[in-house]
Amino acid sequence: MKKIKIITTGGTIAMGKDQQTGQIVPKLSGLDLLKQVPQLTKMADLELVQYANLDSSQLTAPMLLELAELVEEALLEEEIDGVLITHGTDTLEETAYLLDLVLDIKKPVVITGALRSFSQLNSDGAANLVQSIQTILNPQSKNKGVLAVINEEIHAARFLSKMHTNNLNAFSSLNCGPIGTIDHSGIHYSYDLPAQITIHPEELEERVEIIKLAIGSDDRLIQAALDYDCQGLVLEAFGLGTLPEKIIPGLTRAKKEGVPVVITSRSYEGRVYNLYGASGGNADIRDLDLIFAGSLTSTKARLLLMLLLGKNLSQTKIREYYLKLKS
């Protein structure tokens, strides 16, 4: 029987109803989770580690690096065949992507959660846990980086996004669809992935902010971020990455102060690149050294920038990493 390490962090999958308030609150330990789904212990030899029991909105970037260390240690254990992480769905895509960037993964690593707690109707926790173990046990799940298993679908971390607040089919793989599906006949993968870049972080720079642009946006938020010693900025721009003229003074200051600015899009799918001179057809925008993030969402572009800044890389080197992305 294969051995799998389960690392629990909390989230809806580990929540239950508070009888006084009627709200869903953190309640189930990792051991409680296993008791909810006795089938799991018949599928594999399970070793449990409870890292946290938090709503995923309360996790921090340094905690994700600690989690990555736990996963890496588990993968180095010869007898461990794979790792399963349980997690809240609100920030699951960020944790999955950071792990995908910092771990050089050969063995299967799966992250899952639930949109419904075990005390709610249509609870999806049991099915997601069982299908996650099935995925880890499948030989084809090796060498695919971090995978997310939810609602009978397998998603690669680099494409994963939560698209609905609480539907059971809340998750999608942007631009390409899920890498695999799960049904009664087993695990079915649809495509292979090129190897992900791996970043071995010394530390992580937390002072990176996301600013979403809208009609009429000016540079006030950019200036405020720089006033508070922001070390990196991610802008959700329009379409392919176009920017309003009114933010140019803030971007000029960012360049002068050596603060990298990464451009993503408000659009959910597609890539960003400097087709229109980025600002009203003004080709001078190229002089601002903006970094275009390909198809990354703003939250993923931020995580990558936090890791790269933590390595004290130059803007030239940072730009090279974004160009290397296999997404």
| DSSP one-letter string for 256-305 | HTT--EEEEESSSSS-B--SSTTTTT-GGGGGG--EE-BT--HHHHHHHH
**Tokens 């998603």 sit at which residue?**
155
**Which among 279, 285, 283, 211 is positioned nearest to 240, based on CA atoms?**
279
What are the residue numbers of the active site? 12
**Which among 204, 122, 199, 112 is positioned nearest to 160, based on CA atoms?**
112
> Which letter, b or e, does each residue of 291-323 get, where b requires 16 or more Cβ atoms within 10 Å of its Cβ?
bbbbbbbbbbbbbbbbbbbbbebebeebbebbe
Cβ atoms < 10 Å from Cβ of 226: 19
Cβ atoms < 10 Å from Cβ of 271: 16
C-beta contacts of 282-288 below 8 A and 24+ residues apart = 282/245, 285/243, 285/248, 288/248, 288/251, 288/252, 288/254, 288/255, 288/261
Cβ atoms < 10 Å from Cβ of 18: 13
Determine contact, residues 97/87, Cβ cutoff 8 Å.
no
Cβ atoms < 10 Å from Cβ of 260: 23
Beta strands in the chain (DSSP E): 3-10, 15-17, 24-26, 45-54, 82-86, 109-112, 146-150, 153-156, 160-162, 171-173, 180-183, 186-189, 208-212, 232-237, 261-265, 291-292
